[in-house]
Amino acid sequence: MAEEFVTRFAPSPTGYLHIGGARTALFNWLLAKHNGGKMLLRIEDTDRARSTQDAVDALIDGLTWLELDWDGEPVSQFGRVERHREVVDQMLASGAAYRCYATAEELNQMREEQRAAGLPPRYDGRWRDRDPSEAPDGVAPAIRLKSPLDGETVVEDEVQGRVVFPNKDLDDLVIMRSDGTPTYMLAVVVDDHDMGVTHIVRGDDHLTNSAKQKLIYQSLGWTIPSMAHIPLIHGPDGAKLSKRHGALGAEAYREMGYLPAAMRNYLARLGWSHGDEEIMSTEDMIKWFGLGSVGKSPSRFDFKKLENLNGHYMRATDDAELLKHWKVYLAHVDGGKPILDWILANEAIALGALPGLKERAKTLVELTESASYLWRQRPLDLDEKAEKILDEDARNILRDLAEILNGVSEWNAEPLETAVKAYAESKELKLGKVAQPLRAALTGRGTSPGIYDVLVALGREESIGRISDQARG
Ligand code: GLU
């Protein structure tokens, strides 16, 4: 039987799914799908102060919105603490780890002396080979890994290539604190091993950790998973990603009106490429994804690109699907509730208006703004441009149009357009002279989706009503 292919996403709950984390999740997900494997989810919730239920829910919510699913139940790292302790005991018994009774004061003093001597701060191994019978009374020991003193640890990274760490630089790291809590470094290794993870993909800020983790694997005689450390995301100016640059949670992108498919495509291109392809369906990305084409240098986050890509996805998404995302957006954005209620009560109208709306909108924010003519109440309030358009001549035109359009037997774009054009010709008016007042009356705005789309979406009664509201009596 072929070996199972298992990746995992292992976020620490911070209160949201950070955009860098979202990309890490996506890469793990694509890699698993490409190889017919699984992606597991492990919540690294050992920091109890930060790991509130809300913070965990926010991670799940972000992944769910991005439609990145995982196999099985999410694993809680904190929930596995007994297993971590068991492994520590096993390491103590085999001699792979030892008890260190150095007090905090002693360790501080040791570091200060090293600093004064211009040496890098390192644990000096004072308890490494000491007889436990020398243990001081009343001091709870920390447990340290007995790391090799010389030689090197080599990480064959799928993205970074061969990375060499001289063992003398790797401390006898603490695997369990004196209060009995296992450290992150140990927990990650035990969890990845027990979960059967074969491929680790994570941010390159974890690269040094991978050498330390490799030492733990070796001391336990466990198979080391394949590792890939992907470069972090930077801002458009090359500096570390800041909030202003887009270092936000997934929910912020939802509120900015982006579609999950566009986000996936955009995030995949942040660091990975397939030839010159910019627009890739999720199926294509799964087919093409591989760590070999992940770049080594940080990629730059660019809102303009994301927006353009999103505009493409808005146009390409079918109406029913787009309506679904629109509702999700409205359910999460401030002030979205009354609009959502209107859509739920007028679903056919909203759906009918979408073809006209999506052509012009780069985001769901823009789409909502240009759709607002749908739910505005008569008599419409006019924006400045509409006010200007609706002068006396325009209001006379509207009086004619109310009558003419009411006479159109089939309320469809084509006959409506024919009627409006015929009227403009008969009055020797440019089409704009007729269409602009119509737009202003129907939408209360100087700009709007195509005027025939608007007429159709509003229906006969509402359209004639709005035109009559502004027509000269
Ligand atoms: N919990 C770590 C983080 O959120 C990731 C650890 C890992 O992927 O090994 O940065």
Q: How far is the CA of 202 from the centre of ligand 1 (A)?
A: 7
- Which is the closest atom of ligand 1 to the Cα of 8? 8
State which ligand 1 atom lies nearest to the alpha carbon of 24. 8
Cβ–Cβ < 8 Å for 338, 291 = no
Measured between alpha carbons, how far is 24 from 44 in angstroms, rounded to an integer? 15
What is the CA(325)–ligand 1 centre distance, in A?
A: 30
With the most atoms of ligand 1 within 8 angstroms of its CB, the residue from 6, 8, 9, 12 to mutate is: 12
Report pLDDT digits (tens) over 56-113.
999 999 999 999 999 999 999 999 999 999 999 999 999 999 999 999 899 999 999 9
Which residues contact ligand 1 via a Cβ below 6 A? 10-12, 44, 188, 202, 206
Take residue 72 and report the two structure tokens written for it. 């099985």
- Report the separation in Å between the CA atom of 274 and the middle of ligand 1, taken as the mean of its atom positions: 26
> Which atom of ligand 1 sits closest to the CA of residue 202?
8
d(C-alpha 235, C-alpha 272), whole Å: 17
- Ligand 1 center–CA 5 separation, angstroms: 19
DSSP symbols for 164-228: EEEGGGS---EEE-TTSPBPHHHHHHHHHHHTT--EEEEEGGGHHHHHHHHHHHHHHTPPPPEEE
Question: Hey, how many other C-beta atoms are within 10 angstroms of the C-beta on 405?
Answer: 20
The domains located in the chain, with CATH, are 80-230 (3.40.50.620), 250-371 (1.10.1160.10), 384-472 (1.10.10.350)
Closest CA to 144 of 128, 129, 159: 128
Instruction: For residue 333, give the nearest of 255, 257, 253, 260 by alpha carbon.
Output: 255
- Residues taking part in catalysis: 243
CA dihedral 379, 381, 387, 390 (to 10 degrees): -20
CA–CA dist 247, 225 (Å, integer): 29
Q: Which two tokens stand for residue 330?
A: 């409205």
Nearest partner of 424 among 405, 440, 411, 407, judged by Cα: 405
Centre of ligand 1 from the C-alpha of residue 17, in Å = 12
Closest residue by Cα to atom 6, ligand 1, is 10
Distance between Cα 226 and ligand 1 center (Å): 15
What does each of the 473 residues of the chain score in pLDDT, given as a tens digit?
457 999 999 999 988 999 999 999 999 999 999 999 999 999 999 998 899 999 999 999 999 999 999 999 999 999 999 999 999 999 999 999 999 999 989 999 999 999 999 988 889 999 999 988 899 998 899 999 999 999 999 999 999 999 999 998 888 999 999 999 999 999 999 999 999 999 999 999 999 999 999 999 999 999 999 999 999 999 888 888 877 776 789 999 999 999 999 999 999 999 999 999 999 999 999 999 999 999 999 889 999 999 999 999 999 999 999 999 999 999 999 999 999 999 999 999 999 999 999 998 999 999 999 999 999 999 999 999 999 999 999 999 999 999 999 999 999 999 999 999 999 999 999 999 999 999 999 999 999 999 999 999 999 999 999 999 999 87
Residues in the chain: 473
Which atom, in ligand 1's list, is nearest to the CA of 44?
1
Pick from 359, 354, 385, 386: nearest CA to 371: 354
pLDDT value of residue 246: 67
Pocket test for ligand 1, best of 202, 224, 230 (most atoms within 8 A of CB): 202
Sequential DSSP letters for 421-453: HHHHHHTT--HHHHHHHHHHHHHSSSS-S-HHH
Question: What's the 307 CA to ligand 1 centre distance in angstroms?
Answer: 29
Name the residue at shortest CA distance from atom 3 of ligand 1.
Answer: 11
H-helix or E-strand spanning residue 233: strand 233-234
Q: Which atom of ligand 1 is nearest to the CA of 14?
A: 4
- For residue 389, count CB atoms less than 10 angstroms from its CB and return exposed for 0-12, middle for 13-18, buried for 19 or more: buried
Cis check for the bond before 136: say yes or no (omega within 30 of 0): no
Q: What residue's CA is closest to ligand 1, atom 4?
A: 11
334 CB neighbour count, 10 Å cutoff: 6
* Atom 7 of ligand 1, nearest CA residue: 10
Task: Enumerate residues 6+ apart whose C-beta is below 8 A from 25.
Answer: 9, 11, 17, 39, 63, 66, 68
- In the reported structure, the alpha carbon of residue 227 is separated from the centroid of ligand 1 by a whole-number distance in angstroms of 13
Mutate to test the pocket of ligand 1, among 206, 226, 229, 233 (most ligand atoms within 8 A of CB): 206
SS3 8: strand
Mutate to test the pocket of ligand 1, among 17, 27, 43, 44 (most ligand atoms within 8 A of CB): 44
Cα of 206 from ligand 1 centre, angstroms: 7
Nearest to 5 by CA among 26, 27, 42, 31: 31
* For ligand 1, atom 2: residue with the closest CA: 11
Residues 6 or more apart whose CB falls under 8 angstroms from that of 81 comprise 46, 181, 182, 187
Q: Which atom of ligand 1 is nearest to the CA of 21?
A: 4
Residue 192 CA: which ligand 1 atom is closest? 9
